[in-house]
Amino acid sequence: MVPDVTLLLVLLLAIAVLAGFARAVNLAYPIVLVLGGVALGLIPGIPSPHLDPDVIFLVFLPPLLYSAAFFAPNEDLREHARPIALLAVGLVLFTMAGVAVVVHAVAGLGWAPSFLLGAIVGPTDPLAATSVVRRLGASERIQTVLEGESLVNDATALTAYQVILASLAAGASLSVGHALAKFVLTAAGGVAIGAVVGWLSTQARKRVEATNIEITLSLLTAYAAYIAANEAGLSGVLAAVTAGLVVGSRSGDVLLPETRLQAFAFWDVLVFLFNSILFLLVGLEVRRIVEGVAGSASTLGLIGQAAAVVAVVIGLRMAWMFTVPRLIDTLLRRWQRSEPLPHPWREQLVLGWSGMRGAVSLAAALALPIGRQGLPAGERSLLIFLTFTTILGTLVLPGLTLSQLVRRLGLVEGAERRRQETEARLELAHAALAKLEEVAREHGGGREDSHDELSERSLARLRESYETRINRLEERLDADGGVPESEPSAERQLRHALVRAERDQLTKLRDDGRVPLEGVRELERELDLEETRLRRR
């Protein structure tokens, strides 16, 4: 028990230190974590974890998949469905086949473990790439395609992974026709179960108005969908993804505002911790992985195998980006007799260079079974080693150069994004003001002496508040070509100072016992929201 507690403390401390360092040097935290995990695993005396493969899949995957689907922009995904489908299904299967051929040739593995490795390294991880493009303000299309691809390609790759493992457990040879049929059946069944669990979750949460219970139900939904599908021999991955999409599409109707704020914060922290722990766990496995593959080939041979897998993963993605979408567009134009579609080669280059692998691949590799129902220990260690080196190669090389690539290609659209957000805020303020005038007319302009109904003074105060907001937003759009970086520095500093003054006064009221603790917390929450808005300007 003590080693487990020690390991947990080491992991949490390492996450805090490494993530803080990543923030300080302005790098995506998965890159720093994977390198830090390696360094941590090489330190003598650091405990090495012994984790049940089934536990890894069951504990980590459902919430990671569910949260990605829940926060996915459904309308944007539908708008970019074709490029997402090409990458998330076509490219994953293409990569899986390409990796299998290369590994079978250079490492001498059988076809089943070779295809297993292809399925493991097939899905991309959105964290590193999207954190870079979002921080730079790259086009919304790039962000949407990357997030949508990662969401769906997890399901594609891991469903194929489960089909191959099932064939190994049954002792059957890997038949392409049988594998495809089982893949379709497994996927369709997982989607159906996920849709049912997601619908049941929304119905239950409509009847609950307690934030803590609703957040608990959201976590339960992820695990319930995954476990139900797995027990039925179907795709738990697709079930968790589908449940997340169903619940996410109804979150505006189901969740109370305060629940939404707390739920988003809860999932942000949970996903961050789970991703971070996975990266560090595999780092702690480095020595064991190296020892496991030491006898299978020479050091130069292992390096060559790892380099071959990294090269084929990156090379196939780049080749796909500049061939298949163009071919599909050409065929569709001939069939539909439509105008030629533009080919944003700059965006395709960024998308091609953003194929980083991450936490899902780590979980799949660590979950590989050993023995009669799985792989020999040596083959499993080799697959984990090749997975880790692929993640390392695709994270570090593209991850450290992606931001420069986006800038050099002129795809930074931060100013345009701020203009769109300002225009959206302006429309919201106009809508609220129009509703206010409608209510004023219904109340006959308000009565000055009314206590139960809206008074003219109340209406005037609200009208002035929204008119002031509209004037400020219009000034922001008119200044500096329409898109200022932010409000004037002096005004922003004054707003922060005013919030701090309110905090100081609230502290005095709390210390004097003039406001109950529950009231203090509510007021602190309001000040936190105001300061958060100021930090984002």
According to the model, what pLDDT value does residue 339 have? Answer: 46
479 with 518: CB under 8 angstroms?
Answer: no
Same domain, 278 and 312: yes
Same domain, 87 and 203: yes
Q: How confident is the model at residue 298 (pLDDT cuts 50, 70, 90)?
A: confident
**pLDDT above 90 for 95:** yes
Same domain, 161 and 233: yes
According to the model, what pLDDT value does residue 372 have? Answer: 61
Same domain, 500 and 357: no
B/e letters for 114-124, b = 16+ CB within 10 Å, e = fewer, are bbbbbbbbbbb
Q: Of 412, 434, 451, which residue constitutes the final position of a domain?
A: 412
Q: What are phi and psi of 138, to 5 degrees?
A: -70, 170
Residue 247 vs residue 43, higher pLDDT? 247
Note the pLDDT tens digit of each residue in 472-498: 767 666 664 444 444 556 666 777 777
The encoded tokens of residue 391 equal: 């993640």
Secondary structure of 5-41 in HEC code, one letter for each residue: HHHHHHHHHHHHHHHHHHHHCCCCHHHHHHHHHHHHH
Same domain, 38 and 182: yes
**pLDDT above 70 for 31:** yes
**pLDDT above 50 for 449:** no
According to the model, what pLDDT value does residue 295 have? Answer: 65
Same domain, 533 and 401: no
Residues 224 and 181: their CA atoms lie apart, in Å, by 26
The encoded tokens of residue 508 equal: 């005095």
104 CB-near residues (< 8 Å, 6+ apart): 110, 111, 114
Task: Kindly calculate the radius of gyration of the chain based on its CA atoms and give it in whole angstroms.
Answer: 26
Same domain, 340 and 437: no
The encoded tokens of residue 365 equal: 């590799």
According to the model, what pLDDT value does residue 234 have? Answer: 85
% the chain with pLDDT above 70: 77
Write out the DSSP string of 62-78. HHHHHHHHHTS-HHHHH
Q: How confident is the model at residue 332 (pLDDT cuts 50, 70, 90)?
A: low
The encoded tokens of residue 276 equal: 């971070």
Amino acid found at 517: L
Q: Of 378, 394, 412, which residue constitutes the final position of a domain?
A: 412
Same domain, 120 and 32: yes
The encoded tokens of residue 463 equal: 């009208």
Least confident of 214-228, 321-335, 447-461: 447-461
Same domain, 177 and 245: yes
According to the model, what pLDDT value does residue 315 have? Answer: 94
**pLDDT above 80 for 51:** no
Residues 309 and 57: their CA atoms lie apart, in Å, by 24
The encoded tokens of residue 238 equal: 């697709």
385 CB-near residues (< 8 Å, 6+ apart): 289, 290, 292, 293, 302, 306
Q: What number of H helices and E strands is found in the chain?
A: 24, 0
Q: Of 412, 429, 451, which residue constitutes the final position of a domain?
A: 412
Residues 202 and 221: their CA atoms lie apart, in Å, by 10
Residue 281 vs residue 172, higher pLDDT? 281
**90: which DSSP letter?**
I
CATH of the domain at 184: 1.20.1530.20
Residues 179 and 177: their CA atoms lie apart, in Å, by 5
According to the model, what pLDDT value does residue 138 have? Answer: 66
What range does the domain containing 181 cover?
2-412
Q: Looking at the DSSP assignment, which residues form a beta bridge with residue 375? A: 370
Amino acid found at 421: E
% the chain with pLDDT above 90: 15
Note the pLDDT tens digit of each residue in 123-164: 887 666 676 666 666 677 787 888 788 878 887 888 888 888
**pLDDT above 60 for 403:** yes
Note the pLDDT tens digit of each residue in 230-277: 888 888 888 998 999 898 888 767 777 677 778 888 988 998 888 888
Same domain, 317 and 359: yes
Q: How many separate domains does the chain show?
A: 3
Q: How confident is the model at residue 28 (pLDDT cuts 50, 70, 90)?
A: confident
Distance of CA 216 to the CA centre of its chain: 20
Same domain, 357 and 432: no
**pLDDT above 70 for 420:** no
Handedness of CA 93, 94, 99, 102 (dihedral sign): positive
Same domain, 407 and 504: no
